[in-house]
Every structure is written in C-alpha cells, then in structure tokens.
Structure 1
Amino acid sequence: MKSFIPALLLGTVIFQGCSAPADSVTAEHNSPDLVGYLDSSSKEDQLSGGARMIPISTPKGEYKVWTKRVGNNPTMKVLLLHGGPGGTHEAFECFDSYLPKEGIEYYYYDQLGSHYSDQPNDTSLWQTERFVEEVEQVRQALGLGKENFYLLGHSWGGILAMEYALKYQDNLKGLIISNMMSSVPAYNTYAEEVLGPQMAPEVLAELKQIEANNDFSNPRYMELLLPNFYTKHALRMPVAEWPDPVNRMFNHMNQTVYVQMQGPSEFGIRGNASLKNWDRSADLPKIKVPTLTIGGEHDTMDPEHMKWMASQFPQGSYLYCPEGSHMAMYDDQKTYFNGLVKFIKEVDSEAKSKAL
C-alpha cells in the first residue's frame, strides 16, 4: 500500500451557492442564543467537554466508538460521517469555524476501526451493512430523532449516509450527501474517462504502469499523484499549505479498512474492493426526507452526477461549489458552509411551520 495519502473515500432540483461565495446567511439566521448553545450543565458529557465513548454491539462482540458533541440546539443536530473508509472526524474540524455561530449542534464521530475508536482486527467487520447498524446505535445513544436529526456524510460517509437513509429514514429530519456519487461504477468511468486524461500523457502512463504492476508501495506513485492529482482534485492547495486537521486525518487513516473496502488504486474502486459494484442510483427516489447533495467543479466525483442525484430525491437540492474539489469544505469554504447552513435552517424552519 502507498504511503500517507489515500483517496478521501469516497423531485425539482433547487440550486444553492451556484455563483460567487456568500459571506453570510440571512440576518434572521444569525442570532443564536449563545448562552444556551454553550451550556453543558445538564449534559452527561459535561465533564469531558462533549466527548463520549459509545458502546456498540457487532456480530463479533462489543466495542466502543468515539463521539464529541459541540453546542446545543433542540431542533438542529448534525451527525458527521467521515470519509475513508478508515478516515477520521478530523477532516471536519473546519466546521468549528462556521456552525457554532449559527447555533447548530453537531457531533464528531470516528467509525469503528478509525483512530479515536476501537480498532479490532477482524476484517469481517468492514461491511457497509454493519456500519449502517453502527450508525443507528450511535443515533440512539445520542438521543437524535426525527425532530432534530440531520445526517451528513462526506465521500465514503456519503455512501454510508445513503445506505442509512434507505433503511432508517424515518429517524431523519434531513440528509446531506457531500462529494459522493450514488454509483461506484459511474465514479470509475468518470475517473477513467475524465480525470485521468486531464494529466500529462506521460504521467498517466507511468501511473497506470505502477498500478498494473501492483506496485503501490513505490514512492514514485505518490510523487506523481501529489502534484498531478491530489492538489488538483482532492484539495486544491499546495501540499505544504494543507490544513493541520487534514494532515492528521491522513496520518491516522486505517489502511486495512481502506484497502479492503476502497482498494489500493487512486483511479476508482477496483480489484477485490468490497465497494467496487456499489450502486444505489435507482433507489434514490425512495429517500423522501429533504436531501442536499454537494459537488465541486474540480471534485474527484462528477459534479454533474451529484446534480442529477438531487433531481432524483422527492425533496432534493444541489449545492455547487465552483472552486471546490473533493474537500470543498476547505477549498471553497464560504460557498460550502453558506449553502449547508441555509439548507439546515430552511428544513428546520419548514418543520416548525408545519408544526404550528
């Protein structure tokens, strides 16, 4: 396996954030009760600053996963599903710069096998269906429900979020699928036909040869990927300027989980990877809750596919990040968060109006 940077996996359309980044949301959204938001006096996690290890049951025994609550809001609570598989919550730490000032409560969470949670060696645990049941157990432990529960999944977390919604959408208030397509075969085609040819032919040829030789530990593989792929489609900044949370997430990646589910290649999901044939495109209309898809112009995922996804949900909307890549929450940050906050608050406002 290569060194420290794997890929980040993984109705009427309403468009959000399609032009220049906005600096703020509407005025009525900008007045959270700061005292109440910061009050943890009635919380069982007060002693630990919101952090909790939550016990979960699996077919192979009992384990614990790490979560951390930020803020209080009775009607807007967002559980964050990180990428990888095998990544960590750390890639979401930029949310601290945006969601607290909007009064939105959110939860960091390391999935089983990830750095802050238990890391069992049993590879039979790394199955999408089991991860779905894990998320449901976490939801129950955190006390999230239909009246307040938003689920945000980024990359692989987007796959997990879709799978969760298809089984447990009655528990959801809103769903956000960030930088993830609904079909791995379609993603493979996009990587092969669109992303690869954007490289210099000699670079692409050398990368393909390394992959054909199954020589993923070759330092040359990453030497070519960093300037020719990662800084163009994963995070559009010079590597030396990548934010600390992103670097920590990559350094903490569980390679065993990642390779088993995503595979070693950076041009799609191939080989014996368990996600290779995953495709939920035909099932998207079954997800009835308000759903936001987020895509970036320079993403590893096809932004047009993510736009199409929004049209398949009965209550779908699409947030386009014109400067964004796969980690648009960093390289098109204002567009990303302005659109995300707008979606969460509009869903909340509509729910309150219906309750009157």
Structure 2
Amino acid sequence: MTTSRLLLACFSFLLLLGCQSKTTEDSVRLNYLDYSKSDDQATGGIRMIPISTPAGNFKVWTKRVGNNPKIKVLLLHGGPGGTHEFFESFDGYFPNESIEYIYYDQLGSYYSDQPNDNRLWTNERFVEEVEQVRKALKLDNSNFYLLGQSWGGILAMEYALKYQKNLKGLIISNMMASAPAYNKYAEEVLGPKLDPTVFAQIKAFEKNKEYTNPKYMELLMNHYYTEHILRKPVNQWPESINRAFKHLNPAVYVYMQGPSEFGITGDATLKNWDVTQRLKTISVPTLAIGAQHDTMDPKHMEWIANEVQNGRYLHCPDGSHLSQYDDQKHYFPGVIQFLKDVDNGTFKKS
C-alpha cells in the first residue's frame, strides 16, 4: 500500500469514528426526555426504593431526570437530614448537556421515610443504603457517577472506599476528608474573620450549649452563613435553598453534625470522622471541588485531588459552601467537563 493510500485509509477510519460518535451523541440528545420505555414514566421519573436496615424496612425517594446510558449521576445531598432540593440548580445545566442525574433523599430526609431511631444514623448504614439504591437503579461502573456535596461528600468518600469497583467517577463537592480539620479551619481561620463581638457571642452561646436560642442562629445566619454558606443576603437566597433548610430534619442533623454549620460540635457523631489516611486507595477518576469562601478549606480540597490516585481539582473563586448556586460560572463547566472527559476516556489528573 502506498503512503497516500495509507493516509487516506487512516483519514477514512478517523472520519468514521467521528461520525459514529456524533451519531451516538445525537441519539442520546434525541432520546434524553423520552420516558416512554421506562417503568417510571407514570410518575415522571420518581421511584420509592425499598431499603433494608437493621431497624426494619423503609423506602427512600428518588427522581430520575433524563436518559443517558453512559452518564448517570446520583446526587448525595448535604445535612445530614437535608434534601435533594440543595441540587435543584442542576436543572439549569445538566439537561442541556444530556447528562442523566438522579435526585435522592436519604433515609430520614423530607421526601423519604423518617424513622425515629438513632441506630440508623451511621456512616456505615448510609453507605449500604446508597449501595441498595445503586442496585435498584441498575447503575454500574460503565455509567455510575457519584456526586456528594457537604455531608454528601463524606458519604461519597465512604462509599468509594468500600465500593469503588461500582463507580465510573467520583465527585467530592465542598467537603474535607477530616472533621477535626474542618473544625480547626472554622475555629482558627473563619471565626476570627467575624466581627470580634459577634464571634464572642457565638462562642458564648456554644459554651453554654444555648443552641436553640434564636439569637444564636440569627448571628450565624446574618454574619457567617451569608459569607460562607451562600454569598447572598438572606432575602435573596433562592427559593429552593429556603425550602431545603425548611425541610431539614433536625433530629438527624443535630445527632450527626451538631446545631449549625460552624464546625461539628457537642456530642455529634461525625466529630472525629477522618479518612485522610485512606484516600490514597481510591483509584477511580475523582473531582474534588473547593471554593474560596467555603466553610471547607479549599487548600484541603486541592490536597484531596492530589492524594487520590486519579484526581482533579476544581476551584470556585467566587463560591462558598453552596457554590452550585453562588459560583455557577465555574462550578458547572468544571463538573460537566469532568463527566465528559471520563466518559470520552480523555480524563487526565491534575
């Protein structure tokens, strides 16, 4: 075969591959909102999934948006005891990219069963719940991406440490790998940035365990949350965020996290959680997301990306803890690019 014929053959082969890829993309986009061949068509993608636990059987709420056989993102919300409503901004970005995503309220959350049993609120039990949800939704390592934000990031890390063989990709959004490090950052870095009088009042309330005092939450909301949770005045917070906080289950939240986002305090069960020494065992492609004004140290988030075997770091310079709302111009392009790079086999660690 002459050189010219060889070059022509190679060009034709590459052109064919490109056409096949384009055909696949067009097919996914064309069928993205077609629920006609699915058993959840009648409910608009909603499924109540049975969950078996040591304390009995319950059901958790899920809602699928779109169809994409290659990219399916299960969303793990914060809290603990929060809801999928923290993710509703995804509706403005994922459908346009034909990314399938699944909203999911964990057990104890507003749209799922809410048993009153503290034996259920452990990392280990939640990991097994996620695994049962994965199986029910028929997700596997050819398409299954897990995105956890805040407490959901803890759950995502714990899941990956046990079940990474089931994952195609992992996204850790706005969550450090150590609760003690998170507490230290709140106490030594963020707290002193507050007005000294406000900081002193907050510490006094916590010292006296006056967590239910309305003044305590008022101080946090107006001086800490608007700087480090969502960087907008409270009266400008999105309706979905207000709804999510309204639906927060305090029984689960206080038991595991404590009374507020100002560190994990009191007898909260997550107070000593730390997986920093185990992250190096995670080999699945991983995106760690940090934000400049977050309650979580962005340098620690970058460290996570370097500690796992195949990590990439996404920095949100204008964002805080809910950077999916206050820094969307960096958050969503970075997440979407990660999903597409892993899907296309072009992912490179940072």
Does the pair score TM above 0.5?
A: yes
Q: Relative CO higher for 1 or 2, CA cutoff 8 Å, sep ≥ 6?
A: 1
The correspondence for 1:349, drawn from 340, 344, 349, is: 344
Between the aligned residues of both structures, percent identity stands at: 65
Q: Could you tell me which amino acid in structure 2 is paired with residue 112 of structure 1?
A: L
The answer to whether residue 90 in structure 2 is matched with residue 95 in structure 1 is yes
- Distance in 1 (alpha carbons) for counterparts of 2:204 and 2:134: 45
The answer to whether residue 45 in structure 2 is matched with residue 35 in structure 1 is no
- Distance in 1 (alpha carbons) for counterparts of 2:298 and 2:269: 24
The residue number in structure 2 matching 1:81 is 76
The residue number in structure 1 matching 2:17 is none
Kindly indicate whether the alpha-carbon contact (under 8 Å) linking 1:32 and 1:102 is maintained by their aligned counterparts in 2.
Answer: no
Deviation at 1:29, TM superposition (A): 12
Q: What secondary structure is seen at the aligned counterpart in 1 of 2:223?
A: helix
The correspondence for 2:136, drawn from 117, 141, 166, is: 141
Deviation at 1:111, TM superposition (A): 0.1
Structure richer in helix, relative to its length = 2
The residue number in structure 2 matching 1:19 is none
Q: What secondary structure is seen at the aligned counterpart in 2 of 1:44?
A: coil
The worse-fitting range, judged by mean Cα deviation, of 158-167 and 34-43 is: 34-43
The answer to whether residue 254 in structure 2 is matched with residue 259 in structure 1 is yes
Kindly indicate whether the alpha-carbon contact (under 8 Å) linking 2:176 and 2:296 is maintained by their aligned counterparts in 1.
Answer: yes
The residue number in structure 1 matching 2:333 is 338
Unaligned runs of 5+ in 2: 1-21
Q: Deviations over 1:298-320 (max 9, x none)?
A: 00000000001100011000000
Q: Deviations over 1:193-246 (max 9, x none)?
A: 000000011110011111111111111112211221011000001111101110
The residue number in structure 2 matching 1:104 is 99
Q: What secondary structure is seen at the aligned counterpart in 1 of 2:278?
A: helix
Provide the TM-score with structure 1 as the length reference: 0.89
Q: Deviations over 1:220-279 (max 9, x none)?
A: 112211221011000001111101110110000000000110112442112211101100
The correspondence for 1:233, drawn from 202, 212, 228, is: 228
The residue number in structure 2 matching 1:117 is 112
Q: Deviations over 1:30-77 (max 9, x none)?
A: 967432101111111000000000001000111000000000001100
Deviation at 1:28, TM superposition (A): 12
- Distance in 1 (alpha carbons) for counterparts of 2:258 and 2:212: 13
- Distance in 1 (alpha carbons) for counterparts of 2:165 and 2:112: 27
- Tell me how large the CA RMSD over aligned residues is: 1.7
The residue number in structure 2 matching 1:176 is 171
The correspondence for 1:59, drawn from 54, 61, 85, is: 54
The correspondence for 2:219, drawn from 217, 224, 227, is: 224
- Distance in 2 (alpha carbons) for counterparts of 1:341 and 1:301: 22
Q: What secondary structure is seen at the aligned counterpart in 2 of 1:282?
A: coil
Q: Could you tell me which amino acid in structure 2 is paired with residue 346 of structure 1?
A: D
The residue number in structure 1 matching 2:207 is 212
Provide the TM-score with structure 2 as the length reference: 0.91
- Distance in 2 (alpha carbons) for counterparts of 1:140 and 1:81: 16
The residue number in structure 2 matching 1:328 is 323
Unaligned runs of 5+ in 1: 1-26
Q: Could you tell me which amino acid in structure 2 is paired with residue 103 of structure 1?
A: S
- Distance in 1 (alpha carbons) for counterparts of 2:30 and 2:23: 18
- Distance in 2 (alpha carbons) for counterparts of 1:343 and 1:335: 12
The residue number in structure 2 matching 1:8 is none
Judging changes above 3 Å, is the alpha-carbon distance between structure 1 residues 28 and 203 closer, same or farther for their aligned structure 2 residues? farther
The residue number in structure 1 matching 2:13 is none
> When the two structures are aligned, how many residues end up with a matched partner?
326
The residue number in structure 2 matching 1:158 is 153
Kindly indicate whether the alpha-carbon contact (under 8 Å) linking 1:30 and 1:102 is maintained by their aligned counterparts in 2.
Answer: no
- Distance in 2 (alpha carbons) for counterparts of 1:29 and 1:35: 10
The residue number in structure 2 matching 1:17 is none
Q: Could you tell me which amino acid in structure 1 is paired with residue 304 of structure 2?
A: M
* The structure with more radius of gyration: 2
Q: What secondary structure is seen at the aligned counterpart in 1 of 2:108?
A: coil
Q: Could you tell me which amino acid in structure 2 is paired with residue 193 of structure 1?
A: E
The answer to whether residue 291 in structure 2 is matched with residue 289 in structure 1 is no
The correspondence for 2:45, drawn from 41, 45, 50, is: 50
The correspondence for 1:309, drawn from 304, 323, 327, is: 304
